[in-house]
DNA sequence: AGCTTGAGTGTTACATGCAACAGGTAAAAA
DNA sequence: TTTTTACCTGTTGCATGTAACACTCAAGCT
């Protein structure tokens, strides 16, 4: 039983590498993405690198200044709040749809993520965020609306660029975890409207907390 | 008072041309987008054409089959309903936000579009759709959330690919126009929740009508 | 000093060359 | 006839050449 070989194109590998470097912070916000320079480092020609860089622009992770190069996006607080606003809308739609379509396997996976998150909540905010992303990802993926999943995924990645703007205090992480539990409960009971409301309340609350945290009064 | 000259890059012109050709149906859904062929027709080299084609893939107007070329997407009814579902969510958010931020100039523009639509409603469904797109565009643009505007715009373009799936019967266009009027009324009264509800009801109703029209029972 | 000018460096954007690949068709083998 | 093979055609994907452009900085001018 042989599986088809996915033709490993150079551009795909480069895209993954660059995305990883950007999301991990290795390529910091504001960094210039020089095609010749990256090509030298990755030891490939400029063509696939140029293509990959433009794809990242399309994903919203980098911004293009016509004829003056591309650089990693540097999100402001306003940008992050925009993203939360949009995700509140999209993810709550996803939650409502997912409530009606989730398989028991999906629910188990979701529960697993939450349990892991509960265990990690002690102080490891890095792992916590990772699991948070996974939680939301499972929901949008099972919504059954592929475009919703794609756009939500794009927004999710974009938000990860705002690392220093997020809040890592334990009370906030605990609160998020509680809200995740509530969403999961609604999903398990297949209560679409409740899941939708809980998701919307969750993301709106987080956005408010982030805003308050960065605007002292 | 000289205006800055926007460096007209070949890739931008090609992208516009291809987008136009696709949205107008000149390049029909399913058509293969051969880079060398298009380069010959447009009388430019393959590089900017290749780039433009990949951008269209990123916009969702074309689909890439690894090493087997790119073709114009061919939307199914299910795809169109997915798009309506997502837009119902995004556009209703936009309507709520726009209610609080619209300037009187924006409101006048919106009214102008509606009046033109009312006049065109006689039987010119082509012009009607054009104005419909403009109506929604004004609202998402004035929402103040740039990402929302960008993603909604992408969805709007994608929907235009489903030409033959749309309904052009006059009673349906009239109904849409009425609902647009209602949305505009809520916006003019700066009633965010009402605008949100009206927009959501509008798009959900349209989606339902489209579904019913294509699934006889 | 403050401002132009111009050399120098590095990049972008476009053009083009070419190997590997995909798909079709016709000839050869079963 | 059906299957296999070989060949042919056109494309994709990567590499590379290069003109025009953008930025820096230091010399020259006011």
What pLDDT is recorded for position A117?
A: 84
In angstroms, rounded to a whole number, what is the distance separating the alpha carbons of residues A155 and A84?
A: 9
Q: Which of B147, B156, B158 has the most A C-beta neighbours within 10 Å, making it the best mutation to test the interface with A?
A: B147
In angstroms, rounded to a whole number, what is the distance separating the alpha carbons of residues B75 and B206?
A: 17
A160 domain-assigned: yes
Query: What's the CATH code of the domain at B39?
Result: 1.10.10.10
> How many other CB atoms sit within 10 Å of the CB of residue A31?
15
Chain B residues whose CB is inside 8 A of the A67 CB are: 7, 9
Question: In the listed set B30, B47, B72, which residue is the last one of a domain according to the structure?
Answer: B72
Query: Quick check: A214 and A77 in contact, CB under 8 A?
Result: yes
What pLDDT is recorded for position B121?
A: 58
Kindly report, residue by residue over A82-98, the tens digit of the pLDDT. 999 999 999 999 999 99
Residue-wise DSSP of B52-109: HHHHHHHHTSEEE-TTS-EEE----HHHHHHHHHHHHHHHHHHHHHHHHH--HHHHHH
The 3 state secondary structure assigned to B106-162 is HHHHHHHHHHHHHHHCCCCHHHHHHHHHHHHHHHHHCCCCHHHHHHHHHHHHHHHHH
Residues A119 and A24 in one domain: no
What pTM was computed for the model? Answer: 0.93
3-class secondary-structure state, position B2: coil
Q: Does B86 touch chain A (CB under 8 A)?
A: yes
Residues B126 and B145 in one domain: yes
In angstroms, rounded to a whole number, what is the distance separating the alpha carbons of residues A31 and A16?
A: 17
Q: With pLDDT > 90 as the criterion, what percentage of chain A qualifies?
A: 81
Residues B23 and B113 in one domain: no
Q: Contacts by B166-171 with C-beta closer than 8 Å and gap 24+?
A: B166/B129, B166/B210, B167/B209, B167/B210, B167/B213, B168/B125, B170/B121, B170/B122, B170/B123
B210 domain-assigned: yes
Residues B40 and B138 in one domain: no
Domain boundaries, position B142: 77-214
Residues A110 and A158 in one domain: yes
Chain A residues whose CB is inside 8 A of the B145 CB are: 82, 85-86
In angstroms, rounded to a whole number, what is the distance separating the alpha carbons of residues B117 and A216?
A: 48
Kindly report, residue by residue over A162-213, the tens digit of the pLDDT. 988 888 888 888 899 999 999 999 999 999 999 999 999 999 999 999 999 8
What pLDDT is recorded for position B164?
A: 83
Query: Would you call A89 and B90 a contact, using CB atoms and an 8 Å cutoff?
Result: yes
Non-local (6+) Cβ contacts of A196 within 8 A are A92, A93, A95, A96, A99
B49 domain-assigned: yes
Q: Which residue has the higher pLDDT, B176 or A117?
A: B176
B1 domain-assigned: no
Non-local (6+) Cβ contacts of A175 within 8 A are A205
- Closest to A165 measured CA to CA, from A65, A89, A33, A73: A73
Q: How many Å from the CA of A116 to C1' of C11?
A: 47
Average pLDDT over residues B117-143: 87
Query: Quick check: B69 and B198 in contact, CB under 8 A?
Result: no
Is residue A1 predicted with pLDDT exceeding 90?
Answer: no
In angstroms, rounded to a whole number, what is the distance separating the alpha carbons of residues B29 and B162?
A: 9
Chain A residues whose CB is inside 8 A of the B58 CB are: 55, 58-59
Is residue B1 predicted with pLDDT exceeding 90?
Answer: no
Query: In whole numbers, what is the pLDDT of chain B averaged over residues?
Result: 93
Specify the DSSP element, H or E, that contains A71: strand A70-72
What pLDDT is recorded for position A121?
A: 58
Distance of CA B161 to the CA centre of its chain: 9
As a whole number of Å, the CA-based R_g of chain B is 19
What pLDDT is recorded for position A128?
A: 85
| CA dist list (Å): B122 to B169, B182, B210 | 10, 20, 20
- Closest to A162 measured CA to CA, from A10, A3, A18, A30: A30
pLDDT confidence tier of residue A15, bands split at 50, 70 and 90: very high
B5 domain-assigned: no
Query: Quick check: A33 and A71 in contact, CB under 8 A?
Result: yes
Residues B41 and B144 in one domain: no
Residues B81 and B183 in one domain: yes
Is residue B116 predicted with pLDDT exceeding 70?
Answer: yes
Question: In the listed set B72, B101, B123, which residue is the last one of a domain according to the structure?
Answer: B72
Residues B175 and B154 in one domain: yes
Question: In the listed set A22, A47, A72, which residue is the last one of a domain according to the structure?
Answer: A72
pLDDT confidence tier of residue B67, bands split at 50, 70 and 90: very high
For chain A, the domain total comes to: 2
In angstroms, rounded to a whole number, what is the distance separating the alpha carbons of residues B82 and B85?
A: 5
Q: Does B3 touch chain A (CB under 8 A)?
A: no
């Amino acid at each position: 039983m042989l599986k088809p070989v996915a033709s490993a194109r150079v551009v795909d590998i480069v895209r993954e590498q660059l995305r990883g470097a950007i999301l991990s912070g290795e390529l910091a916000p504001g960094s210039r993405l020089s095609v010749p320079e990256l090509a030298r480092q990755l030891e490939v020609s400029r063509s696939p690198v140029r293509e990959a860089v433009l794809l990242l622009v399309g994903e919203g992770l980098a911004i293009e200044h016509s004829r003056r190069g591309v650089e990693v996006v540097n999100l402001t607080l306003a940008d992050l709040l925009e993203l939360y606003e949009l995700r509140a809308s999209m993810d709550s739609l996803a939650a409502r749809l997912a409530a009606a379509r989730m398989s028991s396997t999906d629910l188990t996976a979701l529960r697993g993520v939450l349990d892991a998150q509960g265990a990690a909540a002690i102080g490891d905010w890095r792992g916590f965020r990772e699991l948070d992303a996974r939680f939301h990802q499972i929901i949008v993926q099972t919504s059954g609306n592929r475009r919703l999943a794609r756009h939500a995924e794009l927004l999710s990645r974009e938000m990860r660029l705002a690392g220093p703007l997020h809040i890592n205090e334990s009370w906030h992480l605990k609160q998020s975890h509680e809200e995740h539990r509530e969403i999961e409960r609604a999903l398990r009971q297949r209560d679409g409207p409740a899941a939708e409301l809980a998701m919307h309340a969750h993301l709106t609350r987080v956005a408010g907390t982030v805003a308050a945290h960065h605007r002292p009064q």
